[in-house]
Structure 1
Amino acid sequence: MGRIVTPARFAQPPANHAGFETDSDRERAALWARLRTEAEAAADGDPLLRSFIHIAVLSHDGFASALGGHLARKLGDWYIPAERLADITEQAHAGDPGIVAAAVADLTAIVTRDPAADGLLTPFLYFKGFHALQWHRVAHWLWAQGRRDLAHFLQSRVSEVFAVDIHPAVSIGRGVLIDHGTGVVIGETAVVGDDVSILQGVTLGGTGKEHGDRHPKVRDGVLLAAGAKVLGNIEVGRHAKVGAGSVVLKPVPPGATVAGVPARVVGWSTSGQAPAVEMDMSLPEPEYTI
């Protein structure tokens, strides 16, 4: 039996070279304190879960440590056991501290937008959309380092375990929610901006076997509702919304709501808030032609 992965070596990075905390450091520290408080309450509330919660959260000295260890245990197998995967996450976090900052923003987005998230602990422990996205961030770092075979291995394992398939070349911003996650597919040359919400069954794909830049560019604040298919090298503009089950084959203007097969503009955002944050899946009344 392999050793339990509770890697104290995932030390929190220094605040900065001058010794002052940044806003990102303070945000992470506050999130970690809240996560530990929730974990302590859960461990006290159900003795059957005490050991699990201790290993996953309470045995660690910081958020990066807990995240790396938990991700590693989720994905470890006979080929690359959990302790080796923990080494990989450590390398990625050290190589790009922005990975951990993005994870903090992603977890905060879940609590802000998902009514099923009654705190930080539940999505941290159990939401596979969150887990798949954090593994993608590690795989994307490996891809940029030229370690592409290992990045593909992680993509394959994430697809097997979480039913989320994101090519490691894909650039994804911060504050991204992948809700439920099952059936999400994002192709190689796609780009996903900040504060985007993606529901189950969404595809950001190509239109054929062409090579080169062939996948969608999803800008900040976009909501992609369940089952939406966005195909080709097209742009979904900032603060746009794509209705459930829609097939998008043409660019979507900023602030537009599109729906249908093929999708057409059926309305416009007027609230000033990003649809991804509002998480309102409804469509305008049928005075619009779909």
Structure 2
Amino acid sequence: MEKDQKSPTRRSVLGFAACVAAAAAAPLFNTEATRTPNRTSTPAPAAGPQAADPKAAAGPQSAATVPKASAYRLQPMTAFVPNPLMRAATPVRQEPFLRMPALGRSMVLSFDDGPHPRYTPDILKILRKHDVRAMFFVCGEMAVEHPDLLRRVADDGHVIGNHTWSHPLVPRLSASRIRDELGSTSEIIEKTLGSPPLWYRAPYGAWNKNSFEIGAELGMEPLAWTIDSLDWREPGTGKIVSRVLGGAEPGAVVLSHDAGGDRSQSVAALRRYLPKLLRSGYRIRVPVR
């Protein structure tokens, strides 16, 4: 299904000037590799729960499909005064991070829409084989269906991000619905893993002022991407590989998917381009806060 690309806001996201200053972002990214333990995959079901109609997926969902966030970790923006002994509040951004700081030849791999029991385990195997970690921006409706798989992703040392509950087009939602989408997803992630997500990504790359404010209230930083693999189009494994390798550069963030449609090409492409990136001297890193 056409997920993070089918929106006019997409161009404006990628047109942001240079993202946030590298000096401000530098502490957010990990510079050390971490070995991940060996695990085994689980059997795959026949299909994922995503809708086949991208327009239906992009539009506002009925309130019944999104559980209330139960005021999860939310504070009034103007009334909250942080305790000086507490961790500093997450700043409210006006645009998402597009890339990581250029710490040598480093890149970030990210996967949206999962976890999915057919594709996510194979992606984990490939990443484990090459001893690298990635980011997984999960949808709450998938996380609540596959909590054990979500734990496997986290146990392998990957960063779990918030990708809303039902993958709506955020600018079409009221502030209260955005709170439900982000808050409910953070709630299920914390309930499953013991800690909340520190990063989030807007479906279709469509952000707005409310999403930045509510994301900050939830303690999350926004991350977009610089390389769109366009794997959602199922263009063929070779084309996905070419897009990733052709856009590779220090600081790049790669957007791929592990759910939302047939992602067998995404898995096959990762198997090909990841070792090539590593042989070219790139290090695959993940942000840390």
TM-score range (shorter-chain normalised) is under 0.3
**Structure having the higher Rg:** 1
Q: TM-score, normalised by structure 2?
A: 0.24
Q: TM-score, normalised by structure 1?
A: 0.24
Which has the higher relative contact order, 1 or 2, with Cα contacts under 8 A spaced 6 or more apart?
2
